[in-house]
Amino acid sequence: MAATFFGEVVKAPCRAGTEEEEEDEEERRETPEDREVRRQLARKREVRLFRRQTKTSLEVALLEKYPCSKFIIAIGNNAVAFLSSFVMNSGVWEEVGCAKLWNEWCRTTDTTHLSPAEAFCVFYHLKSNPSVFLCQCTCYVAEDQQYQWLEKVFGSCPRKNMQVTILTCRHVTDYKTSESTSSLHSPFLKALKTQNFKEPPCCSLLEQPNIAHDLPAAVLSYCQVWGIPAVLYLCYTDVMKLDLVTVEAFKPILSSRSWKGLVKVRLDAFT
Amino acid sequence: MFVPCGESAPDLAAYTLLMPAVSVGNVGQLAVDLIISTLNMCKIGYFYTDCLVPMVGNNPYATAEENSAELSTNAEVYSLPSKKLVALQLRSIFINYKSKPFCEKLLSWVKSSNCAKVIVLSSSHSYHRNDLQLCSTPFKYLWAPSVQKSVQNKSHNWEEMEKSPCIPEINDSEFCIPEGGNTKTLCDEGRSKEIPLAVLLKFVSKGDNIPDALGLVEHLNEWLQIIKPRCNDPTASALLWKIPSSWRLLSGSSLSPVLF
């Protein structure tokens, strides 16, 4: 229990998560109508992949439908802006699918013309090399939807011969360090990689006790468990909204061996 | 589901499985961290599940630069073949309504692996103790009859968890483990699957629960003799539990001097 500033006694959230006894008690007292409401809510929260042009659903997982050698996933406004500016402008990309989902924090848009202010999750492949995929995801995928997202995108047969790169941002206040936080020069990049990712990352590795969360963590966990080479680049920034300085912090990734040929933009034009 | 690190699934027949309940103060999880770190247990696989919130980080038990870059996920399995010990570590909380399905899937895997017994390290909130419990040891146990037979050393100061009414004044006593997380679900599932399952728990308050975890592993060690004390003095805490490197900065980053 805890007291608020106004003296009311409230139940404080437990560090160990939701009370199991409360959930068990709820399930025992559930009526058929409650179960139906819960089923409908679960159906509303389902992640679906479809093609916006034809408005048809993808019947199989995206990467089971198409062969994939490289998959780059940008999660969050700044990571998406980085891929748009440096990678998507360097080639011709064709949309192959779009994720539709709803949760308490966002609803993805159905419109064909996306604006940066909207929440979306769109998949593209490179026309000149259709095994190279890219995902631009600005919507928040809730914890109960992350596993579904993985199943709809990667499918049930993990491929070890593809390489996955994930880009995302976290607020610099999430970064734990024994140094004074005022000495941190944000934005800065940190990496986490799976066991089978052999290429040296473009920045230093994320030190314990720091961890990654949400969809980036779900994708990287999937890759680690199934032996897929993957790297997550985390940009710690003090500006989570769209910010040019944060976008440019991802630039060291452009010199990765695996990104050769993907980027045709002259880097010195931006310095 | 269990996914081995290597090509084939390891043989866990007759092994003792240690696992945490995700409970108040995360005491069980801290205790399992101490065991894995001290015994330098080797990772043998992952428990890949949609029931736990995803998280990843580098090796939480790193001792040197060379082994600091191994990625860890939210549910991993470690083993120590010399002591026929296997440990499951859970590093995040359950997604809503997924605790029971997780316990069902986990204990099905345990049954098919033919483990000798399962020991759940757990905790319960100390403010829920009744008058009797307030005067007695904070360490309690619960175990299936099949496990009780295998407990040789009865000299420890252990007490069985009392049954108490979950709702005061209502005479329907059963095992009530307030803020024990999935402890009770594991007990119920273990009973229904006839798995030899034991629970060791401590009554704790939330806060810095490292001393509670150390107390719990020392109690476990009285039974399992995982590590031998350094000297014969039973009063001295001569056991050396290795604190994992990931336990640094538990209270967050250092404060900026600009504040003062």
According to the model, what pLDDT value does residue A179 have? 82
Six token digits for residue A114: 């996306």
Q: Mean pLDDT score of chain A, rounded to an integer? A: 86
Q: What is the pLDDT of residues A33-71, one digit of tens each?
A: 888 888 888 888 899 898 887 878 888 888 988 889 999
Chain A, 26 to 85: residues with Cβ < 8 Å from chain B are: 27
Q: For residue B258, what are its two tokens?
A: 């600009």
Q: Is B182 on the interface with A (CB under 8 A)?
A: yes
Does residue B94 form part of some domain?
yes
pLDDT tens for each residue of chain B, 260 residues long: 999 998 888 999 999 999 999 999 999 999 999 999 999 999 999 999 999 999 999 999 998 888 889 999 999 999 999 999 999 999 999 998 899 999 999 999 999 999 999 999 999 988 878 777 777 888 888 887 777 666 555 555 677 777 665 555 555 556 678 888 889 889 888 888 889 999 999 999 988 999 999 999 998 998 888 887 665 555 555 468 999 999 988 877 877 777 77
Residues of chain A neighbouring B246 (CB-CB closer than 8 A): 208-209
Do A240 and A247 form a contact (C-beta atoms < 8 A)? no
- For residue B28, tell me if it sits in a domain: yes
In a domain, B97, yes or no: yes
Q: Which of A15, A181, A215 sits opposite B26 (nearest CB)?
A: A15
- The answer to whether residue B2 sits within a structural domain is no
Domain hosting residue B106, numbered range:
8-259
Phi/psi of residue A245, nearest 5 degrees: -65, -40
CB proximity under 8 Å: B 31-60 to A: 46, 48, 50, 53-60
Residue B132 is predicted with a pLDDT of 76
The total of structural domains in chain B comes to 1
Instruction: Dump pLDDT digits (tens) for A181-240.
Output: 777 888 999 999 999 999 999 999 999 999 999 999 999 999 999 999 999 999 999 998
pLDDT given for residue A271 in this prediction: 46
> What strands lie across the sheet with B159-160, from one edge to the other?
B2-4, B42-47, B75-80, B85-90, B16-20, B117-125, B197-204, B139-143, B159-160
- Record the tokens describing residue A27, joined without a space: 């399930």
Distance CA B123, CA B219 (A): 13
Cross-chain Cβ contact B252/A176 below 8 Å:
yes
Residue A265's pLDDT band, with cuts at 50, 70 and 90, is low
pLDDT for residue A250 is more than 90: yes
- Two tokens, residue A157: 């047969």
Supply angle C-alpha B195, B197, B203, rounded to 5. Answer: 155
**Sequence-separated (6 or more) residues with CB below 8 Å from residue A8:** none
Residue A261 has pLDDT above 60, yes or no: yes
Calpha distance B65→B169 (Å, rounded): 58
Residues of B in contact with A214 (CB under 8 A): 54
CATH number at residue B224: 3.40.50.10900
Is residue B77 one of the residues assigned to a domain? Answer: yes
ipTM for the predicted complex: 0.90
pLDDT, tens digit (0-9, with 9 covering 90-100), for A123-177: 999 999 999 999 999 999 999 999 999 999 998 878 878 999 999 999 998 999 9
Residue B3 lies in a domain: no
Task: Answer yes or no: are the C-beta atoms of B48 and B1 closer than 8 Å.
Answer: yes
Q: Which residues pair with A10 in a beta bridge?
A: A2
pLDDT of residue B54: 96
pTM of structure: 0.90
